[in-house]
């Protein structure tokens, strides 16, 4: 297992914990000091036990040096947090304190307040007061308030509070980690796909991210001039020849290429993979080889490769490169996955980045290609869809690349899963490789050849598919659908798969239906989808995505997450409570993007 330290060399943001207190000395404050600080300590140790950074290390919390009873102590905490690179704050209190005097006022930091629901000196009343101040000052904050009254001195964190603390922290950390990182556009617009017209204002204002750009000719230059680590290249090629099974050539005989040509293409795609990674994150080996500038990389936490068509009309496609980088392992061993969008669809890349930062797991990039109604499946195959698939399925099939984690060959409690890299073992890597073939690319599409990743995702995985859209006049909008991957009988899959391109990776996806709106039927899900692509994450993470989107002020236009799991800043309810979806749009518009 490799911890890719170089990628994360700038470190991770920390979580600032702010114990606030009633500032009155000679009795009140003294009686609360210990309890308040203990509450902060228990939140800090709970979060560090539960959550990890993308490199697998436990998240780090920083607690203010003193309880915060007034503005001087609030300022001292803010100073300490700045030095410690705190990226989000959680204020905790068991008592009444003075709202605007103790609050965190940094507009670029996601914030939550846990007001202990006690009897003696209830923190919940401070919570209400400070959240009113946050609303009034346009600094939205999340309010956490346990359902049940706790006894004074009881520092146990109730389960409902834990769930909210985790949801806020996962989302707040995602926001803080992506901030100041870059999206690297490798190439430009692919086949007129609007998502690959990188919108730098969106990245800058909503995500706090930078944009980097290179022309795809940079790959040619680095290959021609040998700007990659030759030792790693040899190692990679040996590993690929041994572990990546080349599948049958599906091209019509007159388009099939020679063995010699295919071998050359393998060499090229392996070099492309090294080069794309080095472009994203840099590589100290390049400096040793005399390429100091290239060794720096583009500080990219996500990227996209245009591929089609200028590159793929002439050179091997990016499928191997995209798949390997998006997977949780390569020739160097098990490691955290990268985020690389196909067709440079930067908006899908952002969807993948959201899913990755919330879960630390690899993300599937796919075309949302076909809605198969139960009637069509029966007409074409004679098979009647059943179980979660009974209402129809979506064929998620990408034009040749998707993370190998998407095979579903990792397991959790015996069930197919996609896990953070530190939970994946070598046997699972082997199974993912065994379940995948590398099919010579369909030359009618990809004149330059290459190898497409071919696998079928195992069924019964809980999955969440999302799409970020940009709408002129409105801005970014997120769509979320939770569902399951589905197993089809082998012959049924083969018949349906043949209709698209059998050399590509396939996932059969059944959305969870609610019977209303966009979730009336699987057809309605597809019919409301905002674009040709979706980013798919393991697990039902819709609630975390909703929280994340609210921090970034990105409204959610469709989701099938149950009401009780939705957690947004308290001020959202000031925009209406009967129809939270409309309130979300109004709140996001009112507060505007995080960074301006
Ligand atoms: C090979 C084809 O051009 C595909 O790449 C194309 O249909 C898409 O993936 C569109 O999103
Ligand atoms: Mn596509």
**Span 52-79, pLDDT tens digits:** 999 999 999 999 999 999 999 999 999 9
CA–centroid distance, residue 196 to ligand 2 (Å):
11
Tell me the ligand closest to 500's alpha carbon.
Answer: 1
Q: For the chain, how many residues are written? A: 596
Among 200, 174, 463, CA closest to 347: 200
Residue linked to tokens 């870059």 = 182
Among 369, 388, 376, 392, CA closest to 523: 392
Residue 10: per-residue pLDDT: 83
Q: Atom 3 (ligand 1): residue with closest C-alpha?
A: 445
Measure the CA–CA gap between 56 and 223, rounded to whole angstroms: 33
Among 453, 456, 468, 483, CA closest to 555: 468
CA–centroid distance, residue 398 to ligand 2 (Å):
6
Measure the CA–CA gap between 91 and 43, rounded to whole angstroms: 10
H or E element at residue 439? strand 437-440
Q: Which atom of ligand 1 is nearest to the CA of 442?
A: 1
Structure-token pair, residue 579: 């129809």
Q: Atom 7 (ligand 1): residue with closest C-alpha?
A: 399
Tell me what the mean pLDDT of segment 417-423 comes to: 98
Percent of the chain with pLDDT over 70: 99
H or E element at residue 534? strand 533-538
Q: What is the 3-state secondary structure (H, E, C) of 555-568?
A: CEEECCCCHHHCCC
- pLDDT greater than 90 at residue 123: no
Residue 392: per-residue pLDDT: 97
Long-range CB pairs of 36-40, under 8 A, 24+ apart, other chains included: 36/67, 36/92, 36/93, 36/94, 36/95, 37/63, 37/67, 38/155, 39/92, 39/93, 39/94, 39/114, 39/116, 39/155, 40/64, 40/92
Tell me the ligand closest to 307's alpha carbon.
Answer: 1
Could you report the per-residue pLDDT of 323-361, keeping only the tens digit for each? 999 999 999 999 999 999 999 999 999 999 999 999 999
- pLDDT greater than 90 at residue 223: yes
Measure the CA–CA gap between 113 and 104, rounded to whole angstroms: 10
Q: Which atom of ligand 1 is nearest to the CA of 398?
A: 9
Annotated binding residue 343: yes
CA–centroid distance, residue 346 to ligand 1 (Å):
15
The answer to which of 118-122, 134-138, 290-294, 391-395 has the lowest mean pLDDT is 118-122
CA–centroid distance, residue 369 to ligand 1 (Å):
9
Measure the CA–CA gap between 282 and 293, rounded to whole angstroms: 9
The answer to which of 45-59, 121-135, 438-452 has the lowest mean pLDDT is 121-135
* Ligand 1 pocket test target in 187, 190, 191 with most atoms within 8 Å of CB: 191
- pLDDT greater than 70 at residue 121: yes
352 burial class (0-12, 13-18, 19+ CB within 10 angstroms)? buried
* Ligand 1 pocket test target in 195, 304, 308 with most atoms within 8 Å of CB: 308
Measure the CA–CA gap between 477 and 480, rounded to whole angstroms: 10
Could you report the per-residue pLDDT of 170-205, keeping only the tens digit for each? 999 999 999 999 999 999 999 999 999 999 999 999
Q: Atom 8 (ligand 1): residue with closest C-alpha?
A: 399
Tell me the ligand closest to 191's alpha carbon.
Answer: 1
Q: Which atom of ligand 1 is nearest to the CA of 367?
A: 11
Prior bond to 309 cis, omega within 30?
A: yes
Q: Hey, which residues does 25 pair with through a beta bridge?
A: none
CA–centroid distance, residue 219 to ligand 1 (Å):
22
> Ligand 1 — pocket residues by CB below 6 A?
308, 343, 367, 399, 445, 532
Q: Atom 4 (ligand 1): residue with closest C-alpha?
A: 399
Q: Which atom of ligand 1 is nearest to the CA of 501?
A: 1
CA–centroid distance, residue 487 to ligand 1 (Å):
24
Residue 3: per-residue pLDDT: 53
Q: Hey, which residues does 454 pair with through a beta bridge?
A: 437
Among 485, 502, 508, 491, CA closest to 437: 502
Structure-token pair, residue 274: 């090294």
Tell me the ligand closest to 445's alpha carbon.
Answer: 1
**What structural domains and CATH numbers belong to the chain?**
14-178 (3.40.50.1070), 182-591 (3.20.14.10)
Could you report the per-residue pLDDT of 31-41, keeping only the tens digit for each? 999 999 999 99
Q: Which of 205, 229, 367, 428 is catalytic?
A: 367
- pLDDT greater than 90 at residue 494: yes
Measure the CA–CA gap between 10 and 181, rounded to whole angstroms: 10
Measure the CA–CA gap between 452 and 440, rounded to whole angstroms: 6
Q: Which of 205, 278, 294, 343 is catalytic?
A: 343
- CB contact at 8 A, 127 and 96: no
CA–centroid distance, residue 366 to ligand 1 (Å):
10
Q: Which atom of ligand 1 is nearest to the CA of 445?
A: 1
Whether 405 is catalytic = no
- pLDDT greater than 60 at residue 492: yes
Q: Atom 6 (ligand 1): residue with closest C-alpha?
A: 399
- pLDDT greater than 80 at residue 152: no
Structure-token pair, residue 451: 């190898």
Residue 4: per-residue pLDDT: 55
CA–centroid distance, residue 533 to ligand 1 (Å):
10
Contacts of 201 (CB under 8 A, 6+ apart): none
Q: Atom 2 (ligand 1): residue with closest C-alpha?
A: 399
* Ligand 1 pocket test target in 341, 445, 467, 530 with most atoms within 8 Å of CB: 445
Tell me what the mean pLDDT of segment 374-391 comes to: 96
Higher pLDDT pick, 116 / 138:
138
Measure the CA–CA gap between 57 and 181, rounded to whole angstroms: 20
Between β-strands 475-485 and 506-511, what pairing exists: parallel, antiparallel or unpaired? Answer: antiparallel
Annotated binding residue 584: no
Residue linked to tokens 């001292």 = 76
* Ligand 1 pocket test target in 319, 367, 530 with most atoms within 8 Å of CB: 367
- For the chain, the average pLDDT equals 96
Annotated binding residue 313: no
Whether 160 is catalytic = no
- The ipTM of this complex is 0.98
Tell me the ligand closest to 399's alpha carbon.
Answer: 1
Phi/psi of residue 364, each to 5°?
-90, 130
Measure the CA–CA gap between 371 and 362, rounded to whole angstroms: 25
């Amino acid at each position: 297992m490799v911890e890719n330290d170089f990628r994360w060399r700038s470190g991770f943001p920390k979580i600032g914990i702010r114990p606030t207190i009633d500032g009155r000395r000679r009795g009140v404050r003294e009686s609360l000091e210990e309890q308040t600080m203990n509450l902060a300590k228990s939140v800090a140790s709970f979060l560090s036990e539960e959550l990890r950074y993308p490199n697998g290390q436990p998240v780090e919390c920083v607690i203010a040096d003193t309880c915060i009873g007034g503005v001087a102590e609030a300022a001292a905490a803010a100073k300490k947090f700045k030095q410690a690179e705190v990226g989000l704050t959680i204020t905790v209190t068991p008592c009444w304190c003075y709202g605007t005097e103790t609050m965190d006022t940094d507009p670029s930091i996601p914030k939550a307040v846990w007001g202990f629901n006690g009897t003696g000196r209830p923190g919940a009343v401070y919570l209400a007061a400070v959240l009113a101040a946050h609303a009034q000052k346009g600094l939205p904050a999340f309010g956490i308030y346990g359902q049940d009254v706790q006894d004074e001195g009881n520092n146990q964190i109730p389960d409902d509070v834990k769930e909210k603390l985790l949801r806020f922290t996962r989302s707040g950390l995602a926001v803080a980690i992506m901030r100041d990182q870059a999206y690297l556009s490798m190439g430009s617009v692919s086949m007129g796909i609007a998502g690959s017209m990188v919108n730098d204002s969106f990245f800058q204002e909503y995500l706090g991210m930078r944009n980097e750009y290179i022309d795809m000719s940079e790959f040619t230059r680095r290959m021609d001039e040998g700007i990659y680590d030759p030792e790693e290249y040899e190692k990679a090629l040996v590993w690929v020849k041994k572990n990546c099974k080349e599948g049958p050539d599906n091209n019509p005989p007159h388009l099939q290429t020679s063995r010699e040509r295919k071998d050359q293409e393998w060499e090229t795609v392996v070099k492309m993979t090294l080069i794309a990674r080095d472009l994203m994150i840099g590589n100290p080996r390049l400096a040793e080889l005399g390429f100091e500038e290239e060794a720096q990389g583009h500080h990219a936490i996500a990227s996209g490769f245009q591929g089609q068509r200028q590159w793929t009309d002439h050179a091997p496609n990016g499928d191997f490169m995209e798949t390997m980088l998006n997977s949780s392992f390569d020739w160097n061993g098990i490691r955290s996955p990268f985020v690389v969008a196909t067709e440079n669809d930067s908006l899908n890349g952002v969807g993948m980045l959201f899913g990755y930062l919330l879960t630390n797991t690899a993300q599937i990039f796919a075309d949302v290609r076909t809605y198969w109604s139960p009637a069509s499946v029966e007409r074409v195959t004679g098979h009647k869809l059943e179980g979660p698939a009974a209402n129809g399925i979506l064929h998620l099939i990408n034009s040749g690349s998707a993370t190998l984690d998407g095979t579903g060959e990792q397991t959790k409690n015996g069930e197919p899963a996609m896990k953070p890299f530190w939970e994946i073992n070598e046997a699972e890597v082997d199974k993912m490789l065994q379940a995948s073939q590398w099919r010579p690319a369909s030359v009618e599409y990809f004149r330059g050849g290459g190898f497409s990743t071919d696998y079928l995702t195992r069924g019964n995985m809980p999955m969440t598919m999302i799409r970020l859209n940009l709408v002129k006049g409105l801005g970014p909008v997120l769509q979320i659908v939770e569902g399951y991957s589905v197993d089809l009988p082998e012959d049924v899959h083969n018949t349906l798969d043949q209709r698209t391109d059998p050399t590509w990776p396939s996932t059969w996806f059944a959305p969870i239906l609610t019977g209303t709106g966009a979730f009336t039927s699987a057809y309605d899900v597809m019919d409301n989808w905002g674009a040709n692509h979706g980013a798919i994450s393991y697990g039902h993470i819709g609630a975390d995505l909703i929280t994340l989107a609210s921090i970034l002020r990105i409204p959610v236009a469709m989701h099938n997450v149950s009401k009780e799991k939705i957690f947004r800043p308290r001020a959202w309810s000031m925009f209406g409570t009967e129809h939270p979806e409309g309130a979300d749009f109004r709140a996001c518009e009112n507060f505007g993007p995080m960074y301006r």
